[in-house]
C-alpha cells in the first residue's frame, strides 16, 4: 500500500470493508459459476485522459478479498494518463478478481475524478500566488478519501470537518451577536485552530479584519470588491488571509486569482465530479 499516514490507512481499510460488505453481502453468487481453481490475469485500461488516484483503496479491495491477488501498477498515483493506457495488471484467482472488480473500480473512478478536477483547476492558476482549496461538499462517507484525492491532484485542503477549524457563517453571526462579538468569542474558544468568517460586503470585511479573524471568506464578491478587500488587507491587516468563494469555474478562476486573494475554494472539486471511465479486461490462465 502507498506510504500514507495511519489515520488515512485506517480510513482506507474501513472504506473498503464497508464497500465490500455493501456489494457482496452474504456472498458473490455469480462468481460461483467460475471454477474455484481457475486462475486469471486482468488489466485496467483507461477510456479517457485523467489524473490517477485511488491506488490505496484499489489495492485494499483485493488485499481484503484474497492475499493471493497481485497488483502491478504501470501508472503512478497523481500521474496524468491518456486514453487506452494500461493502468495496472492483476493476477490471481478468477473468482476473486471478478468479485472485487466493481468495488475496486468504483474507488478508482471516483477518486481519479476528484484528483483530475483538482489538477485542472490548479493548472489554470499555476502561475499565480493563489491556491485552490476544497470544501466540505464531499460524498458522505468518503470525506478523507476525497481530501486525499484533492491533494493528489495538486490542490490544497481546507478544514477536514467541523472539529479542526472554525468557519463563522451568516447564521453563526446572527446567532452570536454580530461579527465582532462572534469572532472574538471564537478566538477565545479555540486558540489552536484557524478562525475564518464569511463576509458578504466590504463593510463586513473591514469589521472582521479589525476583530482579528485569521481568514475571511469573501462570499460572492464581485472582482472590484475582491480587489478592494485585498488592498484593505495589504494596507492595514497584512496577516489576514483572504479566500474567494462563489461563481468559481474554469472560465472565472484566473480573473479571481488576479485580484490578489490568497485562496479560492472550489466545491466542484468534490461535489460535481464525473467518474473517470476505466475497464478491467480478463484473460484466463492455466
For the segment 83-96, the average pLDDT, to the nearest whole number, is 97
| pLDDT tens by residue, 109-133 | 999 999 999 999 999 999 999 999 9
Select 6-122+273-285's CATH number: 3.40.50.10140, 3.40.50.2300, 3.40.190.290, 3.90.1170.20: 3.90.1170.20
* Residue boundaries of the structural domains of the chain: 6-122+273-285, 156-265
Q: pTM for the whole thing?
A: 0.94
Answer whether residue 155 shows pLDDT above 60. yes
182 phi and psi angles, rounded to 5 deg: -70, -40
pLDDT bin (cut points 50, 70, 90) of residue 192 is: confident
**Closest to 270 measured CA to CA, from 141, 81, 165:** 141
| pLDDT tens by residue, 232-247 | 999 999 999 999 999 8
Answer whether residue 286 shows pLDDT above 80. no
Per 3-state DSSP, the chain is made up of helix, strand and coil in percentages (nearest 5) of 45, 20, 35
Confidence (pLDDT) at 1 = 44
| pLDDT tens by residue, 199-252 | 999 999 999 999 999 999 999 999 999 999 999 999 999 999 999 999 899 999
HSE of 93 in the Cβ direction (CA atoms, 13 Å)? 16
Q: Return the active site residues.
A: 102, 137, 169, 198, 219
Strand 50-51 to 80-81 pairing: antiparallel
For the chain, the average pLDDT equals 96
Distances (CA, A) of 267 to 60, 148, 166, 172: 28, 15, 18, 21
| C-alpha cell read off for 13 | 481499510
Dihedral angle over CA of 224, 127, 261, 162, nearest 10: 140
Confidence (pLDDT) at 258 = 98
Answer whether residue 93 shows pLDDT above 60. yes
Confidence (pLDDT) at 4 = 79
DSSP sequence for 113-160: HHHHHHHHHHHHTTTSS-EEE--S---TT-HHHHHHHHHHTT-B---S
Placement of cell 472485487 in the chain: 100
CA gap 238, 45 in Å, rounded: 49
Neighbour-count burial of 191, counting CB atoms closer than 10 A to its CB (0-12 exposed, 13-18 middle, 19+ buried): exposed
| pLDDT tens by residue, 7-43 | 999 999 999 999 999 999 999 999 999 999 999 999 9
Answer whether residue 180 shows pLDDT above 60. yes
How far is C-alpha 222 from the chain's CA centre? Answer: 26
Residue 16 · residue 59 · CB < 8 Å = no
Confidence (pLDDT) at 3 = 60
4 phi and psi angles, rounded to 5 deg: -125, 160
For the segment 83-107, the average pLDDT, to the nearest whole number, is 98
**Closest to 20 measured CA to CA, from 54, 52, 66:** 66
Find out if CATH 1.10.357.10 is the number for domain 156-265: no
Answer whether residue 2 shows pLDDT above 90. no
Amino acid at each position: 500500500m502507498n506510504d500514507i499516514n495511519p489515520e488515512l490507512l485506517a480510513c482506507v481499510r474501513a472504506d473498503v470493508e464497508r464497500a465490500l460488505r455493501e456489494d457482496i453481502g452474504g456472498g458473490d453468487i455469480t462468481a460461483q459459476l467460475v471454477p474455484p481453481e481457475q486462475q486469471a490475469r486482468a488489466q485496467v485500461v483507461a477510456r479517457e485522459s485523467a489524473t490517477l488516484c485511488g491506488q490505496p483503496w484499489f489495492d485494499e479491495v483485493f488485499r481484503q478479498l484474497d492475499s493471493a491477488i497481485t497488483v502491478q501498477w504501470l501508472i503512478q498515483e497523481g500521474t496524468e494518463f491518456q486514453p487506452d493506457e494500461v493502468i495496472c495488471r492483476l493476477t490471481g484467482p478468477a473468482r476473486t478478481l471478478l468479485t472485487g472488480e466493481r468495488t475496486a473500480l468504483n474507488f478508482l473512478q471516483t477518486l481519479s475524478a476528484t484528483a483530475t478536477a483538482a489538477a485542472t483547476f490548479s493548472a489554470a492558476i499555476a502561475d499565480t500566488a493563489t491556491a485552490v482549496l476544497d470544501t466540505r461538499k464531499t460524498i458522505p462517507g468518503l470525506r478523507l478519501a476525497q481530501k486525499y484525492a484533492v491533494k493528489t491532484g495538486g490542490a490544497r485542503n481546507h478544514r477536514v470537518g467541523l472539529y479542526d477549524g472554525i468557519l463563522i457563517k451568516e447564521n453563526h453571526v446572527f446567532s452570536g451577536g454580530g461579527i465582532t462579538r462572534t469572532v472574538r468569542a471564537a478566538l477565545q474558544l479555540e486558540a489552536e485552530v484557524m478562525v475564518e468568517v464569511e463576509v458578504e460586503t466590504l463593510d463586513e470585511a473591514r469589521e472582521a479584519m479589525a476583530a482579528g479573524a485569521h481568514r475571511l471568506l469573501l462570499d460572492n464578491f464581485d472582482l472590484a470588491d475582491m480587489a478592494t478587500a485585498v488592498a484593505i488587507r495589504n494596507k492595514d491587516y497584512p496577516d489576514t488571509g483572504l479566500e474567494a468563494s462563489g461563481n468559481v469555474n474554469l472560465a472565472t478562476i484566473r480573473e479571481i486569482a488576479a485580484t490578489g486573494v490568497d485562496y479560492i475554494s472550489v466545491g466542484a472539486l468534490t461535489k460535481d465530479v464525473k467518474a473517470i471511465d476505466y475497464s478491467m479486461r480478463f484473460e484466463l490462465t492455466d
